[in-house]
Amino acid sequence: MKVLLTGSAGFIGGAVSRRLLERGHEVVGLDALIPEAHGAGAVVPEGTVLGDLREPRAWEHLLDDVDAVCHQAAMVGAGASVADLPSYADHNDHGTAQLLAAMSRHGVSRIVFASSMVVYGEGRYACEEHGLRSTGVRPVADLEAGRFDHACDLCGRPLQWRTVPEDAPLDPRSSYAASKLATEHYARAWVRQAPGDATALRYHNVYGPGMPRDTPYSGVAAIFRSAMERGEAPRVFEDGAQQRDFVHVDDIALANVLALEQQGEGYRAYNVCSGRPVTIAEVARVLTGREPTVTGEYRLGDVRHVVASPELAARELGFRAQVMPEDGLEDFRTAPLRG
């Protein structure tokens, strides 16, 4: 299979490219090398074409003889401020729309693309007495008072997290999240109109060798690593008990290849996760070997817990994470970073 891989020079794109080549596929790479995604140490892999998805005249000829597209190119992270909104909409939404339109012009009908767990907003919660409950944005007064957990709307007791399935309500809480949900909507519309075959992979917290260093757009694992290298204790928001799922970049690559190799029709979305949730405080301890500073600070728009269900991806893609957080995070302590 010949695959056009967007974002091929990036942290995740590089891992996907290696996995595709290992399995005997041909890769045509495309990357714009935007600094926010690459940091200062970007290296253009051999065979990668420099091109911006927003300007298809420069690259759409690459689609002439490919069998499928693997779309990883994006502005990443939660965003440093509201001022990032235009950049996320331009790169992620406009870029994806141009890609889908170009695919139709060139008769390419299959795409696997990077979405994110952030499309869910808050995770799933239940009360011991009243079962599953819906939650809204946590009140600022509660956050100021150090009450970080959601409470049952019927009895006021703290809610407990439950795993989030792919059919859960979608409620983006950041610029990045809104852009990722928009790309899913564009892909759904394209599937109906083209027609085509699209698979959205909702990545959870990705980490691994080659991750960009500490920038406003870095993942929390890289931020903790940078604190360790500066000799500082890592700082965690709220009480550090937020539950997340950390998935190794090699597993992300495997999920992409399995999705590309599967013949499908229509639109599908899958959680890509380890299935082994950990707290943010525990991640900080493992990555730095130090007790984190629990700040009690909070960020508006942050969610309390997001823990995905891996079951649909296991059943339909045959994907199960191979690297568990207890092993992968320990190895990541000394893994090389980018930039």
CATH at 328: 3.40.50.720
Q: How far apart are CA 201 and CA 219, in angstroms?
A: 18
Lowest mean pLDDT, pick from 293-297, 307-311, 332-336 = 332-336
pLDDT, residue 193, reads 94
Q: How far apart are CA 97 and CA 156, in angstroms?
A: 44
Residue 139 lies in a domain: no
R_g of the chain computed on alpha carbons: 20
Catalytic residue among 176, 203, 217, 270: 176
pLDDT over 90 at 301, yes or no = no
Domain count, the chain: 1
Backbone angles phi and psi of 332, in degrees to 5: -70, -15
Q: Rounded to two decimals, what is the model's pTM?
A: 0.95
Catalytic residue list contains 207 = no
**Tens digits of residue pLDDT in 222-250:** 889 888 888 999 999 999 999 999 999 99
Residue 154 lies in a domain: no
Residue 259 lies in a domain: yes
Binning pLDDT at 50, 70 and 90, where does residue 38 land?
Answer: low
Between helices 325-332 and 280-288, what is the axis angle to 10°?
40
Residue 339 lies in a domain: no
Provide CB contacts within 8 A for 116, sequence distance 6+. 176, 177, 180, 202, 203
pLDDT, residue 44, reads 73
Could you list the residue range(s) of the whole structural domain that residue 242 is in?
2-123+164-332
Neighbours of 192 (CB within 10 A): 10
Q: Which helix (H) or strand (E) holds 160?
A: strand 160-162
Residue 338 lies in a domain: no
Q: How far apart are CA 72 and CA 4, in angstroms?
A: 10
**Tens digits of residue pLDDT in 47-80:** 799 999 999 999 999 999 999 999 999 988 765 5
Q: How far apart are CA 91 and CA 21, in angstroms?
A: 27
pLDDT over 70 at 39, yes or no = no
- For the residues 95-108, what does the mean pLDDT come to? 98
